[in-house]
Structure 1
Amino acid sequence: MRSRTLVATGAVLAAAAAGALAQPAAAAPTSGVPWTVSYGTATASGTRWTESAGGMGLYSTLVLDGGLKNTGSGCYSVWSQWTFDMAPVPAHKEVTQCGPGAVPVSVQQQGYSPTTTGRVYICRGDRDMTDCSAPTDVTWWPIGG
């Protein structure tokens, strides 16, 4: 009798786990954690959240959504830089706005885990990171709204 109970309990747990794994990834939340960075005549801001990568893994996708607004005549760019398990990767230019106006910022960093750190910067120009804001950390907790 005892082994039947254990087998039945195991089957129920296995079915529940299989059902949880089969669920689609969660939709974007209606709110997230705000982020903002400013430099010169430009400001980038928005919200950030994590989305499930599916399965029971440790990794997820970190999403930054917002915009870059420039009120001046020069060019400004948003750059991101990520560090995975203490190993930094080169910075990446996300968007540029030259002159007055705004452009959307949308970053989806896959492979996000608790040991990932990320920063965003605004830099003058559109070629390199020689004239930039201080970094804004986009991976401090809580990450999801």
Structure 2
Amino acid sequence: MIAETVCSAVSVAGLGIAAVTAYRKRFLAAARIAAYSLVPIGLVMTGAVGWLADTAFSPTAWAGFVVLGGAWLLFMVTRALERRSGGTRKERKAAKAAAETQAVAPAASAPSLGQTARPAAAGPAAKPGSEDFSDIEAILKKHGI
């Protein structure tokens, strides 16, 4: 009962503000304010305010919200732990088996850039535009690429 009264008062106040705004020749803003002020009275007329008021003062409803929050929290924690550990046990096992059976390039046992592919002079006599990629090659060799 009180919720309906408050919503009606808010709607009337909003329509009053819209009238003052329209008097100041700001019709677009007045129409927007009027639209916002009609929402509470529309909620009262549909019965949503009564349902919300009954829910807000019901201990059973609050216990239900707590249970839903706990379920959501458990869901998010398990998801975060699953992502952190790399998936479920079955998914990790399948990924490990797939990595062992499939090689990236099974025929390539030697690095693609051998000793003969490097320029002979790698010191100050080298071309000014050439770069030394030995550190990158070391990283790739370390990872077996």
How does the TM-score come out when normalised to structure 2?
0.24
Structure with bigger gyration radius: 2
TM-score by length of 1: 0.24
Q: Which has the higher contact order (CA 8 A, sep 6+)?
A: 1
- Tell me which protein shows more helix as a share of its residues: 2
- Structure showing the higher strand proportion among its residues: 1
